[in-house]
Structure 1
Amino acid sequence: MAETPAPPAAKPLLTAAEIAEMPEVHIRHPFNPKSDIYLRSLAPAAGLTRVSLTLGRVPPGQESFVYHSHERDEEFLYILSGRGRAEIGAEVFEVGAGDFMGFPAPGGPPHHLTNPFEEDLVYLMGGERSGFDVGHFPRLGKRILFGPGGIQAYDDKDAQQLSFADFLAKE
């Protein structure tokens, strides 16, 4: 029986050449048919376990994920190259190299990034890695739970609102 090779040792320095050689993970968000993003996960390669840091690339004419907000994990985006459109709350902004966006949790505005332009949109995406988060998709009426047991999606219409009184014994 062949042994699974050990993952490469974490390195505190990742050179530009090493990052360019890292495999890209091709992602398409299941709630958005226009989602088309390529990711290189930097944090684990550097040995970081409490934060998430990913290099993202959205090709021309594509979108990142889907309009969303987070309940627990704060998130940020820093544009490295290219241009895009950032939808933040009810506003749309053109963004480019050097622009930074920060989304606190809870209560940060829903957001979404698209690339309607002719060159790749490349950015750093990072934030907390709490081990449990709730993603809200207000336009879709859905939520996703990210936790130790995996990723689970729910329709808001199926949620049942409970209060503490619902748990009190009725004698």
Structure 2
Amino acid sequence: MPEAPIPAAEARRFFLRAEDVTPYSPANHTGTSNRRVIAPETVGATQMEVLIGTIERGNGALPHAHPTLEQTCYFMEGRARVEVGGETRDVGPGDFCFFPIGVEHVVTVTSEEPLKLMVIYAPPYGEDPAKVTRRAGGHA
């Protein structure tokens, strides 16, 4: 049986380009521009959020954790050093990393060119301050 069409009042966007989304500078990051592509406010997503981020050389995510959500990153361009759960790895195009609930992580760009990555949060983060904890003495 075919699915009923979505009523106009509930119509959602199913296709979009990162360039069509307004960039923002996320808290607890330096030299970073993100575009929240898949999110409640863009497509009506309720269980996940997908961002495309660009981070300049020597910048990145300061030490922090997310007490209520999981995060994964897919590295598209550039290189970075990632610290998570006491492990450190140099990553580049084609690599993934996973940040479990409550585990502190840090990302620092090491390449001359900017780092471009896809970030997925589940459930959505939405830059909600209640969904992040910072190391004592850290700054946003």
Q: TM-score, normalised by structure 1?
A: 0.62
Q: Give me the whole-angstrom Cα distance separating, in 2, the residues matched to 1:116 and 1:140.
A: 24
Asked if 1:36 is matched to 2:36, the reply is: no
Consecutive unaligned residues of structure 1, counting only runs of 5 or more, are: 1-8, 143-152, 154-171
Question: CA shift at 1:28, angstroms?
Answer: 5.1
Question: CA shift at 1:130, angstroms?
Answer: 6.1
Question: CA shift at 1:41, angstroms?
Answer: 0.6
Q: Give me the whole-angstrom Cα distance separating, in 2, the residues matched to 1:78 and 1:138.
A: 24
- Report the structure number with the largest CA radius of gyration: 1
Q: Give me the whole-angstrom Cα distance separating, in 1, the residues matched to 2:113 and 2:124.
A: 34
Q: 1:52 to 1:137 in 2, by over 3 A?
A: same
Q: Which has the higher contact order (CA 8 A, sep 6+)?
A: 2
Which of 102, 105, 116 aligns to 2:110? It is 116
Which one-letter code corresponds to 1:105 in the other structure? I
Asked if 1:96 is matched to 2:98, the reply is: no
Say what the alpha-carbon RMSD is for the aligned residues: 2.6
Consecutive unaligned residues of structure 2, counting only runs of 5 or more, are: 1-10
**Alpha carbons 2:48, 2:122 under 8 Å: kept:** yes
Q: Give me the whole-angstrom Cα distance separating, in 2, the residues matched to 1:114 and 1:136.
A: 18
Question: CA shift at 1:42, angstroms?
Answer: 0.7
* Aligned residue in 2 for 1:138: 135
Q: TM-score, normalised by structure 2?
A: 0.73
Identity, % of aligned positions: 25
Question: CA shift at 1:125, angstroms?
Answer: 1.0
Q: 1:12 to 1:68 in 2, by over 3 A?
A: same
> Deviation digits for residues 27-78 of structure 1, max 9, x if unmatched?
353xx6xx12101111132331331111111012212x31111211111111
Greater shift in the superposed pair: 128-137 or 45-54: 128-137
